[in-house]
Structure 1
Amino acid sequence: MSTVTTDEPAGYVLTLDCPETPGLVHAVTGFLLEHHGDIVELKQFDDVRGGHFFLRVHFTVGADHADPGAAALQDAFAPLAQRHTMRFELREATARRRVLVMVSKFAHCLNDLLFRSRIGELPMEIAAVVSNHPDHRALVEWHGIPFFHVPVTRETKPEAEAHLLELVDRFEIELVVLARYMQILSDDLTRELTGRAINIHHSFLPSFKGAKPYHQAWERGVKTVGATAHYVNSELDEGPIISQQVREVDHSYSPEDLVAAGRDTECRALSNAVKWHCEGRVILHGNRTVVLL
């Protein structure tokens, strides 16, 4: 994981969830006080129905005190986390997650991610791009990013997925982004990537799953089209939803018009989901997500 210079205060981001009990915010802020932490932003959500607590806090270490580093803070926080059965992540606020993007024929989401990453809008480093077609090699390599053409057929799918996991390990990938990658991942691969793979579906889920959703939408005479970014799981287009975007349309739109209208919603939904994940704002809880904005 690399770091990037921003105008925001440096420091750390702590994201956690645990069963709801009294005094959790007091416990976390007390830990920060003990370690000379100054809170920049704190977001929390109490799921009263489910009895679960979610929190994200961005903090800095006071200028008058030595910065202990992320590893030392993680070790210091671990006993408190264990006491409250917390899942937690503590990382440098300026860290950029290493991302592998997968794409097929349609390039708009890939191009959007490449551009946003290049200008520093997304806190990530695209370490590699994988495609089952060779079409986008020149675009990707223009950005100075390695491109891997990995064809997939029914017979070669196990080998292709093994190659993908080898690339994930080789490039120390933290997040896989399916930017209109039009191959269905195997159950084994989706289990391996649980919580660290995001897909963009060109439809406003749960409506119009599978192939040609905009054509399905046109046949139903929809008045909005949209896109859904979600975590990948073993159920096709059923993973926990992170971000959705919609756009109004009307009866005059052809199926091709709906496809064109949907492209912007796809790019925005996916870039939002990737950004929020990389910033530690998304907490996966069962088949749902909590996004602390």
Structure 2
Amino acid sequence: MSDTSYILRIACEDRPGIVAAVTSALASRNANIVESNQFWDRQTNQFFLRIAISTPADIDKSQIELTLGPAVDRFNMKLKVQDLSRRPRIIIMVSKFDHAMLHLLYQIKVGWLDAEVAAIVSNHEDARKIANQEGIPFHYMPVNRENKAEQEAALADLVKESNAELIVLARYMQVLTNEFSTRFFGMIVNIHHSFLPSFKGAKPYHQAYERGVKLIGATAHYVTPDLDEGPIIEQETERVNHSMSAEDFVATGRDIEARVLARGVKYHLEGRVMLNNHRTVVFTS
């Protein structure tokens, strides 16, 4: 029988014996460890462990959780088991700037991103043509002050109905409500066109131009009720100079945004991101 692959993510207070307890339990199920990453945060004394395993095909997710039960109880672990045989489903949200969305769709098409796009959601009609070309359901949800709660309720229903595991804000230029951001915390990744924490909010490239910065960047982060302050997953910068206009900053930034968002989504989907209060632990290799 062929093997089945899983990703285990474990977080708990650091104590001796954690890795031994986990790996011994896995060995009892003939699980083979193909990748292992760990990190001890000295300030919080929290231990983070990510293990990729392959198991005989007759070992399912519930059996793995049952096998690790004694270790989970002993160390008061938070355990997440991800079945890699199931392709994760995502919802992409976009407004008028579609470069980050197009890059995501391309990386999915060539197999670098292992995901299925359950829907494209937009507050404009511009992306409908692309969705139709790709055979992806398109949902037009115009947003204003009067209907924001109603539209977010419809979005929440869509997440449930489509079994989506991640919402990707690919230059979606609307601020989600505190209620929605809290409800789906850890399930919404945004690309902000700035190297946070600098230049939050609207028109960050123009803010950077006015300040005469020499580096601009982009940040993929989880969405929280605090605007542009969610835990950071991935960032990148590129050098600019005095001869460039604000429009040159924007053009340079488009490429950075697309790359950073794709990497951030990839890290999340592969279970490489673990939340550590307001920060993240990202096991990139």
Instruction: Mark yes or no: TM-score above 0.5.
Output: yes
**8 A Cα contact 1:17 1:86, kept in partner:** yes
Alignment of 1:162-173 (within 5 A): 162-173=153-164
Match of 1:19 among 2, 10, 13: 13
**8 A Cα contact 1:228 1:243, kept in partner:** yes
The aligned amino acid for 1:197 is I
Match of 1:156 among 147, 150, 164: 147
Pairwise CA distance, 1:212 = 0.4
Distance in 1 of aligned mates of 2:252 and 2:171: 16
Pairwise CA distance, 1:102 = 0.6
Name the SS of the counterpart of 1:36 in structure 2.
coil
TM-score under structure 2 length normalisation: 0.96
Q: Deviation per CA, 1:164-222, whole angstroms, max 9, x where unpaired?
A: 11111110111111110000111110111111111100000000011100000001111
Alignment of 1:237-252 (within 5 A): 237-252=228-243
Q: Does 2:209 match 1:218?
A: yes
Distance in 1 of aligned mates of 2:166 and 2:211: 35
**8 A Cα contact 2:26 2:68, kept in partner:** no
Match of 1:196 among 187, 190, 202: 187
Alignment of 1:258-277 (within 5 A): 258-277=249-268
Match of 2:68 among 58, 67, 77: 77
Name the SS of the counterpart of 2:144 in structure 1.
coil
Distance in 2 of aligned mates of 1:284 and 1:17: 9
Q: Does 2:52 match 1:58?
A: yes
Q: Does 2:176 match 1:185?
A: yes
Q: Which runs of 4+ in 1 moved over 4 A?
A: none
Distance in 2 of aligned mates of 1:83 and 1:90: 18
Pairwise CA distance, 1:66 = 5.6
TM-score under structure 1 length normalisation: 0.93
Q: Does 2:55 match 1:67?
A: no
Q: Deviation per CA, 1:78-130, whole angstroms, max 9, x where unpaired?
A: 33212211111112234321101111010001101111112211121110010
Distance in 1 of aligned mates of 2:147 and 2:83: 40
CA separation of 1:66 and 1:207: change in aligned 2, threshold 3 A: closer
Pairwise CA distance, 1:263 = 0.7
**8 A Cα contact 1:96 1:278, kept in partner:** no
Distance in 1 of aligned mates of 2:141 and 2:75: 45
**8 A Cα contact 1:95 1:123, kept in partner:** no
Distance in 1 of aligned mates of 2:201 and 2:184: 21
The aligned amino acid for 2:52 is H
Distance in 1 of aligned mates of 2:236 and 2:58: 40
**8 A Cα contact 1:101 1:130, kept in partner:** yes
Name the SS of the counterpart of 1:203 in structure 2.
coil
Name the SS of the counterpart of 2:87 in structure 1.
strand
Distance in 2 of aligned mates of 1:89 and 1:21: 19
Distance in 1 of aligned mates of 2:255 and 2:125: 24
Q: Does 2:272 match 1:278?
A: no
Name the SS of the counterpart of 1:58 in structure 2.
strand
Which residue pairs with 1:209 in the alignment?
A: 200
Show structure 1 runs of 5+ residues with no match.
1-8
Distance in 1 of aligned mates of 2:185 and 2:69: 23
Match of 1:48 among 22, 42, 45: 42
Name the SS of the counterpart of 1:95 in structure 2.
coil
**What root-mean-square deviation, in Å, do the aligned CA atoms of Structure 1 and Structure 2 show?**
1.2
Name the SS of the counterpart of 1:40 in structure 2.
strand
Distance in 1 of aligned mates of 2:236 and 2:69: 38
Aligned residues: 282
Pairwise CA distance, 1:68 = 1.0
**8 A Cα contact 1:55 1:292, kept in partner:** no
Which residue pairs with 2:31 in the alignment?
A: 37
Show structure 2 runs of 5+ residues with no match.
none
Alignment of 1:92-171 (within 5 A): 92-171=83-162
